[in-house]
Amino acid sequence: MAAVRDALQVWEIDQLTAGAVEIVLAEVLNNIVEHAYVDLMSGEICVWIERRTEDLAIAVIDDGRPLPGGTIPDPCEPDLDVATPDLPEGGFGWGLIRTLSSGLSYRRMSERNRLAFRIPLPNGGIDDP
């Protein structure tokens, strides 16, 4: 994540957008570690980011297990109408990812997973004078 933060600073990405990138990447990376690499001793994760005119294009590639059913799961909507101690600890990740990103896609090829998405830049990436 330090390399991602460094790139975002070099590109002068605003804090709100940088925060969205970090949240989405944290959720994606956590899912990979918890699910794609469960019971595996090691694995590689590559993060690719390109600054484009109107957005940041991001791809995360790993050689872990494929997503169940070969598709991105629908976000679950946990029951929040419960007492605070009974609130669920998880189940919010895909909802956050979908809310903060666009163009979310997944494909499995050559025993590797590729999840791609975009984070929009404010004002279409054009700085105000």
Q: What percent of the chain has pLDDT over 70?
A: 82
Domains of the chain: 2-125 (3.30.565.10)
For residue range 76-101, list pLDDT tens digits in order: 666 666 676 655 555 668 888 999 99
For residue 72, name the pLDDT band (cuts at 50, 70, 90).
confident
pLDDT at 128 over 70: no
pLDDT score of 100: 94
Q: Which of 106, 101, 93 is nearest to 119 (CA)?
A: 101
pLDDT score of 38: 86
Rounded Cα distance between 51 and 122, Å, is 13
Q: Dig out the tokens for 42 from the structure.
A: 């090691």
pTM as predicted? 0.84
For residue range 24-37, list pLDDT tens digits in order: 999 999 999 988 99
Rounded Cα distance between 47 and 2, Å, is 12
pLDDT score of 41: 81
pLDDT at 116 over 90: yes
